[in-house]
Amino acid sequence: MPSVLRKEMFHLPEGIIYLDGNSLGPLPKAVPEKVAHMVQAQWGEMLIKGWNTAGWMAQPGRLGDRVGQLIGAPEGSVVLGDTLSLKVFQAVAAALKMRPGRRVILSDTGNFPTDLYMADGLAKLLDDGYEVRVEDPLHIADFIDESVAVVMLTQVDYRTGRLHDMDAITKIAHAKGAVMIWDLAHSAGAIPVDIAASECELAIGCTYKYLNGGPGAPAFIYVRPDLLDTIEPALAGWLGHDAPFAFDLDYRPGAGIERMRVGTPPVIQMASLEAALQVWDGVAMADLRAESVALQEQFIAQIEARVPGLTLASPRDPNARGSQVSFSFPEGYAAMQAVIARGVIGDFRAPDIMRFGFTPLYIDAADVRAAVDHIAAVINENLWDDPQYKVRNRVT
Amino acid sequence: MPSVLRKEMFHLPEGIIYLDGNSLGPLPKAVPEKVAHMVQAQWGEMLIKGWNTAGWMAQPGRLGDRVGQLIGAPEGSVVLGDTLSLKVFQAVAAALKMRPGRRVILSDTGNFPTDLYMADGLAKLLDDGYEVRVEDPLHIADFIDESVAVVMLTQVDYRTGRLHDMDAITKIAHAKGAVMIWDLAHSAGAIPVDIAASECELAIGCTYKYLNGGPGAPAFIYVRPDLLDTIEPALAGWLGHDAPFAFDLDYRPGAGIERMRVGTPPVIQMASLEAALQVWDGVAMADLRAESVALQEQFIAQIEARVPGLTLASPRDPNARGSQVSFSFPEGYAAMQAVIARGVIGDFRAPDIMRFGFTPLYIDAADVRAAVDHIAAVINENLWDDPQYKVRNRVT
């Protein structure tokens, strides 16, 4: 098996072991030049003509196709834009229109809060009896009944890494007549996804975690191809119009996935993302998954052997995990600060979760071994109780 | 009067006279270094810690205050984010909640289409008898009655530059019990605006035109301070939550203008905008307005004297115009292509409008004179009919 390791394509700060690519991917080396070129040679020299001459206008669809390859989406079914929160709103709003007689948006307590907040905001806005029902992720299938308009789940739990069975849950949702939306925030670029095979209607995700697009990189939305001509975009912006530059007074949705576009795309962020996506050329997701699992298994085995104070909070079965491993520790916040101060960057999630992301593009077995050394020192020697580490340093 | 001219702060391509800053402002020279620093020294070196250490998280509010100074908004009443289309949606949705018994969203045919599209998409989504009523801008006040929940207008007409009387229309809207939303897309950085004095409830705008933030720069939203604690954000994202990093399952809107934030901000675009806004240090909007009017008056006088084929499509009274001048010409599209090919960049808007923006930060009287020379040559010598200029080159 060819290794997917390609550290040389990333800028990795000296002395840092970065196990937080599940929050914000590191800087791919191709990005600074691409961004500088976009700013200076395109914006600076082409001015307004850049929209066509430099291809800015077509970029959200072009990059959508590239992201689509990583999640098993056919060409023309994914487009980039806005933020994941907004794409959640757009997806749920569109889904509700597909099931006008139903009033329940079903999700689980393992979903990332903004997904729940956006759905809740939509329900309040509609003010027509809609309810966001949030249940236990381990038994979510039991809560799918004929009252459910849409099931919206994040495939990988952001705290524990627990992985939902996408195909099985989608089948159950469809059997009960519900629309299925998958949030791939912690899946895209992390695990193999075959979104088309799942037959879910909609999927959304972000590009600043495992896809390394940069802070605030645009989100993506996938629409199952057979729905593209009838889906109501809800956020009906001019760049989703059939003829944006005709400046008609009336909205007429564009062809295909283009209708899910809203406003003017963030071209500088798009340039960064475009360069970042080059890293994926030649990477087979199956290979990446195998290496991710190997790193996670190594990490769990070594932590459990050397750091008895930590308790595994992720599923033990690697097939039930995404690409991260979490341990619980009562003083997890302080401990993570101490670990970070020693150059191993993971993050903390309330109430007691120490979270570590494994990204085989730039993390190898030697990094894992070194990370375990630092974690062992901090926990076993109670270094987390050292005042020098008690600095408040919130990370997202 | 000190001139606001500061060409040396912009990268202006050799041989180009740029009269399209009302579509996309040119590159401020401070931007490339700032963006490079954000990418390399912040993202590259700080990684996830950049959210706090580099101040990324607070940036939308900090830049909101800077933009607020240019539109007469008090500190803490403006925040940056998303796109103008999305901020239209958010503003209209919030406004409708303030007038639950009313069903009409009133706008005019001079509004930019995406504002109408987003309102229409919202009305369709709500599916509860809402109507987007679009009337003649010259008589819009006559259409404001007790059925109107919200009046949403763009202050400066994107085609003709016609300027609405913000204070007068807001007063009428309020007298009839309607909420007033002003779109400042062609106002912010173009003309003096005292949004607080207008007493409108909401305002929105973009930062890539007269504020030179770069292609796809984030939008802004203003909420009248007395409404900040009760307004419903509708797009209820995690960064508008009272405690985003508590990861509560329930949404609880944040304090003040922060609740109008939605998802993760586009940090690279924000860096570009932050550098671009430095250009405004020491610029008095009254001085800028005086110079803008002088340039426009010079342009109209010289075109009318030398190019009888063009017909003024903008109001003749400078007090009734924003910072652009439009002329109609039956072959306007081809003519604008020819003018652009000669290095004078304006743009075309259907059906026959040749549009020229005046931006006294980097355009002076000599530029206007030279632009008129080229326009006169193209129109008077029928150069627009020359096949070499008949290239399709759509601009936004």
State how far the Cα of A37 lies from the Cα of A214, in Å rounded to an integer. 16
Q: Are A262 and A163 found together in one domain?
A: yes
Q: Min CA distance, B117 vs chain A (Å)?
A: 5
Q: Are B194 and B295 found together in one domain?
A: no
pLDDT of residue A29: 98
Q: Are A239 and A305 found together in one domain?
A: no
Q: Are B29 and B9 in contact (CB under 8 A)?
A: yes
- The answer on pLDDT for B45 being more than 50 is yes
pLDDT of residue B389: 63
A5-46: pLDDT as tens digits: 999 999 999 999 999 999 999 999 999 999 999 999 999 999
DSSP tag of B213? -
Q: Are A120 and A268 found together in one domain?
A: yes
State how far the Cα of B62 lies from the Cα of A291, in Å rounded to an integer. 42
pLDDT of residue B388: 67
pLDDT of residue A392: 45
Q: Are A304 and A208 found together in one domain?
A: no
Residue A153 lies in a domain: yes
Q: Are A234 and A269 found together in one domain?
A: yes
Q: Are B80 and B219 found together in one domain?
A: yes
B193-249: pLDDT as tens digits: 999 999 999 999 999 999 999 999 999 999 999 999 999 999 999 999 999 998 999
When pLDDT is averaged across residues B331-352 and rounded to a whole number, the result is: 95
Q: Min CA distance, A138 vs chain B (Å)?
A: 17
Instruction: Single out the residue in A251, A280, A309 at which a domain terminates.
Output: A280
- The pTM for the full model equals 0.96
Cβ pair A39:B40 closer than 8 A: no
Q: Min CA distance, B198 vs chain A (Å)?
A: 27
A-B interface: how many C-beta pairs under 8 angstroms? 292
Residues of B classed as catalytic: 112, 183, 208-209, 355
Q: Min CA distance, B121 vs chain A (Å)?
A: 5
Cβ pair B245:A394 closer than 8 A: yes
DSSP tag of B388? G
- pLDDT band, very low/low/confident/very high, at A395 (cuts 50, 70, 90): very low
B341: which residues sit within 8 A by CB, 6+ positions away?
Answer: B388, B389, B391
- pLDDT band, very low/low/confident/very high, at B387 (cuts 50, 70, 90): confident
Cβ neighbours of A241 in B, within 8 Å:
113, 117
Contact B338/A at CB under 8 A? no
**Percent of chain B whose predicted confidence (pLDDT) is above 90:** 95
Residue A295 lies in a domain: yes
State how far the Cα of A314 lies from the Cα of B327, in Å rounded to an integer. 66
Instruction: Single out the residue in A280, A295, A326 at which a domain terminates.
Output: A280
Q: Are B269 and B289 found together in one domain?
A: no
State how far the Cα of B12 lies from the Cα of B8, in Å rounded to an integer. 9
Contact B82/A at CB under 8 A? yes
State how far the Cα of A260 lies from the Cα of A227, in Å rounded to an integer. 12
Residue A76 lies in a domain: yes
Q: Are A71 and A188 in contact (CB under 8 A)?
A: yes
Return the amino acid letter for B18: Y
Angle at B173 between CA B172 and CA B176, to 5 degrees: 85
- pLDDT band, very low/low/confident/very high, at A1 (cuts 50, 70, 90): low
Cβ neighbours of B20 in A, within 8 Å:
47-48
Residue B359 lies in a domain: yes
Residue A370 lies in a domain: yes
Cβ pair A217:B36 closer than 8 A: no
A41: which residues sit within 8 A by CB, 6+ positions away?
Answer: none
Nearest residue to A213 via CA among B37, B58, B268:
B268
Cβ pair A109:B134 closer than 8 A: no
- pLDDT band, very low/low/confident/very high, at B393 (cuts 50, 70, 90): very low
A197-222: pLDDT as tens digits: 999 999 999 999 999 999 999 999 99
B345-385: pLDDT as tens digits: 999 998 999 999 999 999 999 999 999 999 999 999 988 88
When pLDDT is averaged across residues B184-192 and rounded to a whole number, the result is: 98
Q: Are A194 and A73 in contact (CB under 8 A)?
A: no
- For chain A, what is the mean pLDDT? 96
Q: How far are the Cα atoms of A22, A340, A342, A370, A385 from residue A311, in angstroms, in the given order?
A: 21, 19, 21, 20, 19
State how far the Cα of A234 lies from the Cα of A121, in Å rounded to an integer. 14
B49-90: pLDDT as tens digits: 999 999 999 999 999 999 999 999 999 999 999 999 999 999
3-state secondary structure of A257: helix
pLDDT of residue A36: 98
State how far the Cα of A101 lies from the Cα of A146, in Å rounded to an integer. 10
Residue B92 lies in a domain: yes
Residue B33 lies in a domain: no
Q: Are A269 and A29 in contact (CB under 8 A)?
A: no
Q: Are B275 and B288 found together in one domain?
A: no
Which of A34, A96, A117, A272 should one mutate to test binding to chain B, selecting the residue with the greatest count of B CBs within 10 A? A117
- The answer on pLDDT for B392 being more than 50 is no
DSSP H stretches of helix in chain A: 30-37, 45-46, 50-53, 59-70, 84-98, 113-126, 166-175, 195-198, 267-277, 285-306, 332-341, 365-380
For position A194, which CATH number holds? 3.40.640.10
pLDDT of residue A372: 98
A316-371: pLDDT as tens digits: 999 999 999 999 999 999 999 999 999 999 999 989 999 999 999 999 999 999 99
pLDDT of residue A390: 57
- pLDDT band, very low/low/confident/very high, at B386 (cuts 50, 70, 90): confident
State how far the Cα of A183 lies from the Cα of A207, in Å rounded to an integer. 12
Residue A47 lies in a domain: no
Q: How far are the Cα atoms of A22, A314, A365, B122 from residue A298, in angstroms, in the given order?
A: 18, 14, 8, 51
Cβ neighbours of A394 in B, within 8 Å:
51-52, 245
pLDDT of residue A386: 76
**Percent of chain A whose predicted confidence (pLDDT) is above 70:** 97
- pLDDT band, very low/low/confident/very high, at A383 (cuts 50, 70, 90): confident
Cβ pair A51:B84 closer than 8 A: no
pLDDT of residue A212: 98
- Closest partner residue to B264 (CB to CB) among A125, A216, A232 is A216
Please give the residue range of the domain that contains residue B312. 7-28+284-389
**Percent of chain B whose predicted confidence (pLDDT) is above 70:** 97
Q: Take residue B79 and report the two structure tokens written for it.
A: 């925040």
Nearest residue to B131 via CA among B114, B146, B145, B148:
B148
Cβ pair A13:B45 closer than 8 A: yes
When pLDDT is averaged across residues B142-154 and rounded to a whole number, the result is: 98
pLDDT of residue A388: 67
Q: Are A331 and A212 found together in one domain?
A: no
State how far the Cα of A226 lies from the Cα of A205, in Å rounded to an integer. 20
Residue A245: closest C-alpha in chain B: B396
- The answer on pLDDT for A248 being more than 70 is yes
Least confident of A71-80, A162-171, A386-395, B115-124: A386-395
When pLDDT is averaged across residues A303-312 and rounded to a whole number, the result is: 98
Contact A9/B at CB under 8 A? no
Q: Are B358 and B315 found together in one domain?
A: yes
Cβ neighbours of B274 in A, within 8 Å:
none
- Closest partner residue to B265 (CB to CB) among A45, A216, A237 is A216
Determine which one of A355, A362, A367, A389 is catalytic: A355
In chain B, the number of structural domains is 2
When pLDDT is averaged across residues B122-138 and rounded to a whole number, the result is: 97
For position B375, which CATH number holds? 3.90.1150.10
- Is the peptide bond between B13 and the residue preceding it cis, with omega within 30 degrees of 0? no
State how far the Cα of B44 lies from the Cα of B290, in Å rounded to an integer. 44
Cβ pair B269:A266 closer than 8 A: yes
State how far the Cα of B304 lies from the Cα of B376, in Å rounded to an integer. 10
- pLDDT band, very low/low/confident/very high, at A384 (cuts 50, 70, 90): confident
Q: Take residue B370 and report the two structure tokens written for it.
A: 């030279």
B1-44: pLDDT as tens digits: 569 999 999 999 999 999 999 999 999 999 999 999 999 999 99
Q: Are B196 and B310 found together in one domain?
A: no
Instruction: Single out the residue in B280, B315, B335 at which a domain terminates.
Output: B280
B254-297: pLDDT as tens digits: 999 999 999 999 999 999 999 999 999 999 999 999 999 999 99
A208 assigned to active site:
yes
